[in-house]
């Protein structure tokens, strides 16, 4: 059978919706199955680097990003006592080198923009997947509500606890020993500095805090990572104790005490990743985003890599006949698995270097960071921000050096 394939996408997060939008752009329809019965505004801030922002703009949500996201001008990194370690420019330099701004956006604003782009027609809400099984060249999905669905290709965009991943490998989430407090604070409850279009990060022994404005600058999103004694469920709706947040960062300087004291509502959950997945596809099944490579948040690339996956997969499926799917999925795996694994492992490694105790290694780290201050640090991100998913060599984004030769 060589007709246009029936594609089922499981999960309507950023990766699943980006895939649906990219498929629609190429004239390839799909159905998106989501376990929740209503799309709720959940989550907090997301950092959108140029390697994802370029694709989202091309897909048609540039106006929504302009309205709701905050283009970041610089990233500042401090010690816990408030001393500036290093700064990296974004702003116009980022657009010049990598073709798009570096955005900070509320996850709900980003998901809402993607939902409007995709439209209601492909969405199947209230469909929690319980199993998937092959029936000849078809895949049969069975849902908790008793319904079934047949497809020629199933894409698991169903997160770290992916049902589709279980068909590829038997592994389990790995607890990092860390938990994250997350929240949103109206900027009018904070000092004026909180309104600046900056990503600020304070590093200290065993923990760090990062913040940036979202929602057109009306809110400050923060993530405060600290040790967590026992593994708990990973849930964005898990309530946290504001007093525990204050205690975890007691004695820190800069905006940190202002943030921790102003956060009267916080969420807290444990941080997990999974072992690197080397086999992304089997037959007519594949995965993307957190189902393929759940990452610790230390490189701020989780959502960005989900967008890259979606764009790469959509480009490979454009015009494909049903009989071509297995080969296209093998190409997708070869294109995406090495890069995602490097970023996933790099994110895990950063959890140590960012949380060094005061002492010689911490001072060596800070000195190394100072050497990459300014435009040098932005240029060194060419491998990350200049990557063009779904592009053939002639279509790729030029490296920083090619765009702006050294003087």
**Dihedral sign for Cα atoms in the order 86, 89, 90, 95:** negative
Q: Is 239 exposed, middle or buried (0-12, 13-18, 19+ CB in 10 A)?
A: exposed
Q: What is the rounded distance in angstroms from the CA atom of residue 401 to the CA atom of residue 407?
A: 11
Nearest to 33 by CA among 109, 108, 105, 130: 130
DSSP 239: B
Q: Are the CB atoms for 72 and 199 separated by under 8 Å?
A: yes
Among 78, 98, 212, 332, which one carries the catalytic annotation? 212
Query: Is 212 a known active-site residue?
Result: yes
In this structure, what is the dihedral angle of CA atoms 373, 374, 376, 380, given to the nearest 10 degrees?
A: 80
- Pair 225, 78: CB distance under 8 Å: no
| 365 DSSP assignment | H
- Rounded Cα distance between 332 and 282, Å, is 12
Distance CA(346)–CA(298), nearest Å, equals 8
- The two three-digit tokens of residue 166, written as one number: 């279980």
Nearest CA to 80 among 218, 258, 251? 251
CA distance 368 to 360: 12
Give the single-character DSSP code of 59: I
- Answer whether 33's CB lies under 8 Å from 164's CB: no
Q: Return phi, psi of residue 55, to 5°.
A: -70, -40
Classified as helix, coil or strand, 325 is: helix
- CA dist., res. 380 & res. 389, Å (int): 19
Q: Give the Cα separation of 149 and 71 in Å (integer).
A: 41
- Is residue 291 within 8 Å of residue 11, measured between CB atoms? yes
Give the catalytic positions in this structure.
Answer: 212
């Amino acid at each position: 059978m060589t007709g246009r394939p029936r594609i089922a996408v499981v999960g309507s997060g950023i990766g699943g919706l980006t895939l649906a939008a990219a498929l629609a752009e190429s004239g390839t329809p799909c159905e998106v199955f989501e376990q929740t019965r209503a799309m709720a505004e959940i989550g907090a801030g997301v950092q959108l680097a140029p390697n994802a922002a370029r694709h989202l703009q091309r897909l048609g949500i540039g106006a929504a990003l302009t309205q709701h996201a905050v283009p970041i001008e610089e990233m500042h990194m401090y010690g816990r006592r408030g001393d500036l370690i290093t700064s990296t420019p974004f702003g116009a330099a980022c657009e010049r080198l990598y073709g798009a701004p570096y955005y900070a956006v509320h996850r709900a604003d980003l998901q809402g923009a993607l939902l409007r782009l995709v439209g209601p027609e492909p969405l199947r809400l209230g469909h929690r997947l319980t199993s998937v099984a092959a029936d000849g060249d078809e895949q049969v999905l069975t849902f908790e509500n008793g319904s079934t669905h047949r497809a020629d290709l199933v894409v698991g965009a169903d997160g770290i606890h992916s049902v589709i991943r279980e068909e590829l490998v038997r592994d389990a989430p790995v607890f990092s020993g860390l938990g994250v407090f997350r929240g949103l604070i109206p900027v009018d409850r904070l000092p004026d500095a909180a309104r600046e279009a900056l990503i600020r990060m304070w590093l200290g022994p065993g923990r760090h805090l990062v913040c940036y404005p979202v929602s057109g600058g009306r809110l400050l999103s923060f993530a405060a990572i600290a040790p967590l004694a026992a593994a708990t469920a990973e849930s964005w709706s898990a309530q946290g104790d504001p007093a525990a947040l204050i205690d975890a960062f007691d004695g820190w300087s800069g905006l940190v005490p202002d943030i921790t004291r102003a956060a009267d509502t916080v969420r807290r959950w444990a941080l997990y990743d999974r072992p690197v997945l080397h086999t992304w596809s089997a037959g007519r099944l594949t995965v993307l985003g957190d189902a393929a490579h759940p990452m610790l948040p230390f490189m701020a690339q989780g959502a960005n890599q989900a967008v890259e996956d979606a764009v790469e997969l959509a480009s490979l499926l454009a015009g494909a006949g049903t009989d071509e799917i297995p080969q296209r999925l093998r190409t997708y795996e070869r294109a995406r698995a090495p890069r995602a694994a490097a970023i996933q492992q790099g994110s895990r490694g950063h959890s140590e270097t960012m949380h060094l105790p005061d002492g010689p290694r911490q001072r060596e780290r800070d000195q190394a960071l100072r050497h990459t201050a300014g435009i040098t640090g932005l240029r060194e991100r060419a491998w990350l921000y200049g990557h063009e998913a779904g592009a053939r060599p002639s279509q790729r984004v030029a490296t920083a050096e090619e765009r702006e030769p050294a003087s």
